[in-house]
Amino acid sequence: MKVNIKKLKEGARLPVYGSEYAAGADLFALEGVEIPAGETRFVHTGIAIELEQGTVGLVYARSGLSCKQDLAPANKVGVIDCDYRGEVMVALHNHGKETRTVSSGDRIAQLVVAPVFHAEFAEAEELSSTVRGEGGFGSTGKN
């Protein structure tokens, strides 16, 4: 699948897959930013994306950044709709106890392009029964 990317600012980098079978492509910080402990900052990428109709861009944390630097997307998973043409930004939250610095060119998140299914929501008086039934949080086992 071809995804068109527009560089909005000098120094912006296209997303890059880190390995042949990587599901997510790395997104890069356009400029440096300090993120104090417990706070969130928007990190600019300097790019806009054109996703095909029927797809979505999902912005996930990078495991190394979240585990080693305590930085992860504030909204857990960012959603880029296929009709959005503005700058891709990542709201990074510092879960740690000290200020962290993101430098220009740092890999800050990963972008996964995935299919989207649009549901037709219909009100129903009853739902079909299942073995699980109404079991909620933690109801399927202790693993």
Distance CA 72, CA 69 (A): 9
Band (pLDDT 50/70/90 cuts) for residue 141 is low
- What mean pLDDT comes out for the span 75-94? 97
Is residue 136 one of the residues assigned to a domain?
no
Point out which residues pair with 113 in neighbouring strands.
Answer: 57
- Residue 66's pLDDT is 92
- What mean pLDDT comes out for the span 110-131? 96
Is residue 127 one of the residues assigned to a domain?
no
3 state DSSP class of 126? coil
Residue 38 sits in a domain of what CATH number? 2.70.40.10
Residue 143 has pLDDT above 60, yes or no: no
- What mean pLDDT comes out for the span 3-16? 98
Is residue 108 one of the residues assigned to a domain?
yes
Is residue 121 one of the residues assigned to a domain?
no
Closest CA to 72 of 32, 112, 105, 43: 43
Residue 116 has pLDDT above 70, yes or no: yes
CA angle (113, 20, 8) in 5-degree steps? 50
Is residue 131 one of the residues assigned to a domain?
no
Is residue 88 one of the residues assigned to a domain?
yes
Is residue 139 one of the residues assigned to a domain?
no
Is residue 124 one of the residues assigned to a domain?
no
Please state the pTM of the whole predicted model: 0.89
Of the two residues 138 and 84, the one the predictor is more confident about is 84
How many separate domains does the chain show?
1
Residue 112 has pLDDT above 90, yes or no: yes
Which structural domain range is residue 85 located in? 4-17+26-115
Distance CA 58, CA 78 (A): 6
